[in-house]
Structures are given as C-alpha cells and as structure tokens.
Amino acid sequence: MARALQLAEQGIYSTRPNPRVGCVLVNEAGAIVAEGWHQRAGQGHAEVNALAALGGSAKGLIAYVTLEPCNHTGRTGPCSQALIDAGIRRVVFGMQDPNPRVAGSGLARLRDAGVEVQGPVLEAGCRALNPGFIKRMEQGLPWVRVKLGMSLDGRTAMASGESQWITGPAARADVQKLRARSCAIVTGIDTVLHDDAALTLRAGELQLPEPQCSLALANPPVRVLLDRRSRLPAGSRLLSAGGPVLLVQGEPETYADAAVPYSHLSLPEAQSDGGDLRALLEALAARECNEVLVEAGSRLAGSFMAAGLVDELVLYMAPTLLGSSARPLLQLPLEQMAEQRKLAITDMRAIGGDWRITAHPVGD
C-alpha cells in the first residue's frame, strides 16, 4: 500500500476533478507484478492502468488500491467489475469512497463476486492524498488552502502595499507546486491591480519531472478574481495567458483583448459573516473544484479565516523584519485572548532561505 501511495502521488497535479489513486498488483509470493496510477480525468483509472501494464492474466493476484474501486460507469467503466473480470483474488483498499451515497458499493460488488476484500489500510495516508476530493464529497465544499508570504514579524507588505519579493526564488517555485495541485486559485482585485499578478504556472519555476510537468501545464487551474466593482483593467496579465479565468464582478465586463477563456460568476453581496465567500466555495465545488488556493492580500485572506472557511495555512516566512507599520498577516480583528484562533503546525521546513509553515485550524 505504501508503494500504491507513492504511485497515487504522481497524479497530484493532474487528476482533477478525480481523486489521486494508485494501484499495485502483487502475486502469491508477495512480489509486485504491475503498477498503475490515475493520470487525468477521462483516462484510465489506477486499477485499469495496472491491469493494462500487467498485460497477461491477473488470475489469483492481489490488488492494493489507495481508494475503494469505483462502481459506476463514467468516462470509463467500473473498476470493481474490471478487477472481477481479470480474476483478482483479493483487493486491499486504503479508504472507502468518500461519497457517503456510494461508499462501500464497489467493495460490495467485489464481495458479491467472491473477491476477498480487506481494509482500510494506511487510511490516514490515503486520505491525505485527496483532501479536496474528500471534503467536496463529504461536505460539498472544496479544501481551502491559504498561502501567504510573510516576514518573521508576521507582515505581508509595507503599509504602502509594497510587497514583491519578500520571499526568495525557492519559495516562489514551491508556490508553483501549490498552484499546480489546485483546481482554482482565488485572488482579490487589489492584488491584481497592485502587482498585475497573473497567477500562472511557469514550467521553468515549476521544476517537475515528466510526465508531471506536461500534465500540470496542460490542465491549469481556473483563476478566480473577486472584483465586485468591476475594476479589472483591459490588458491585465491575468487575461493574457495561463488558462481560464472566472470573474466575480458586480457588472460583468467584457474584455475584447483577452487571450484566455473567461466567464462570469454571480455572487451575493459581500457579507460580514463571509456568507458570500461560502457561496463562492459552494459554486466552485459545484464546478468540481477539489483544492482551492487563496493567493490574496491580508484583507481577503483574513476574511476567509474570520469566516472559518480555511482548512490549511501555508506560510512562507522570510528571515526579515518589516516592522510594526507594515500590513498584518491577516486582517483579523480580535479583542480578547479567548478569541485567538488555535492552529496545529503539521510541517515546518526550510525552503531556500525561507521557512515554510503548514498549519491547520483546530477547535479548542
């Protein structure tokens, strides 16, 4: 199963809206005889790819698969039936299908056909592969990851807005990977107006091996711009390259010179409790977005946090002090210590000259 997890990770940048899944076929002697992973939607699932890699008979083999084999006929046939047809003797699965309406039906079909079923095995690792897919299936919302660059004293920009290049090139390359694994990148109009941010994937910075690099670039995330007052100027870099754009504008604007496909999304008025942001996330989930990356300034990022809509914070901390006049990490006014937002830091590592902190909000 550990090997199946490694295989699944190879699809981290390309399977969306599908989950990342890996599959290993093992013989009676415990030796791996074939492997497969899901590359992109519309193409073979991990189990089918592993059977195809095997070529010959799968009779009597054991299949290790990170997710319960599917039981529906979508763009490909049901994997549970494919495993039965191939003569697989036993299926070891990592986690059940996260969609509560179908969970267990793939396993049931296997059992009904006389296949031994065992699991869940290494479930935490298998769930960690697909935080967005799982959350969307379970709650109808995407996994929201907020990325911010900050100084050691927790500041994201000078009071003037001056902010570019707080962190170094290694951190920027790392952010490329966060973008590539996301279905959508959400930003605010201030960020675009101030930096003319394009929020694109760049092959040179992405630094991925093949086939991951080509797969990622072939299927870039949708860039979502919150622009209630329709201030996005024609000629913005956002509209010049990098894949589709979704504009949240009060008065939908037309951009004749746009070089990328763009569309509009209508949302309720901005609400102090973040109801509009929740509506945005629901709309993105309805468009099959699993992981959403918020790359915005302290105000919009703070609004997501204040509304309790953040699943993961990724902070790139540069070894510098920007001082007490500079902009806060998050625009998040709290009065009492009892209102503090506790987090669990799950990862801390050096990224070039900066440090990356990964944290998750936790209850009290």
List the binding residues for NADP(+). 149, 165, 191, 195, 199, 297-303
Annotated binding-site positions for Zn(2+): 45, 70, 79
* Single residue of 150, 197, 248, 292 touching its own copies by CB under 8 A: 150
* Single residue of 272, 340, 347, 363 touching its own copies by CB under 8 A: 340
DSSP type of residue 338: G
Rg (CA), the chain: 22
DSSP type of residue 70: P
138, 116 contact by CB (below 8 A): no
CB of 306 vs its own copies, minimal distance in Å: 9
DSSP type of residue 18: S
Please name the residue that has the structure tokens 């056909």.
113
Under 8 Å CB-to-CB from 216, ≥6 apart: which residues? Answer: 13, 14, 180, 201, 206, 208
Q: Is 312 a catalytic residue?
A: no
Structure tokens of 266? 């209508």
CB of 292 vs its own copies, minimal distance in Å: 20
Query: What phi, psi does 293 have (nearest 5°)?
Result: -105, 120
DSSP type of residue 170: H
Pairwise CA distance, residues 150 & 160, whole Å: 15
* Complex with its own copies: residue 41 or 332, whichever CB lies closer: 332
Amino acid identity, residue 147?
K
Write the binding mask 292 to 321 for its own copies: x where contact by CB under 8 A, - elsewhere.
Answer: ------x---x--x-------x-x---xxx
Amino acid identity, residue 206?
L
Residue 246 as a binder of its own copies (CB under 8 A): the answer is no
| Residue 313 bridge partners (DSSP) | 146, 359
Number of residues that bind its own copies (CB under 8 A): 46
Does residue 328 have a cis bond before it (omega within 30 degrees)? no
Structure tokens of 87? 């003569």
CB of 335 vs its own copies, minimal distance in Å: 7
* Single residue of 2, 159, 218, 241 touching its own copies by CB under 8 A: 159
* Complex with its own copies: residue 238 or 329, whichever CB lies closer: 329
Selecting among 28, 35, 47, 251, the annotated active-site residue is 47
Write the binding mask 250 to 289 for its own copies: x where contact by CB under 8 A, - elsewhere.
Answer: ----------------------------------------
DSSP type of residue 103: T
* Single residue of 57, 73, 337, 363 touching its own copies by CB under 8 A: 337
Annotated binding-site positions for substrate: 163, 179, 202, 295
Pairwise CA distance, residues 358 & 203, whole Å: 24
* Single residue of 28, 257, 339, 347 touching its own copies by CB under 8 A: 339
Write the binding mask 345 to 364 for its own copies: x where contact by CB under 8 A, - elsewhere.
Answer: x--x-x----x-x-x-----
Contact residues: its own copies, CB under 8 A: 150-155, 158-160, 162-163, 298, 302, 305, 313, 315, 319-326, 328-337, 339-345, 348, 350, 355, 357, 359
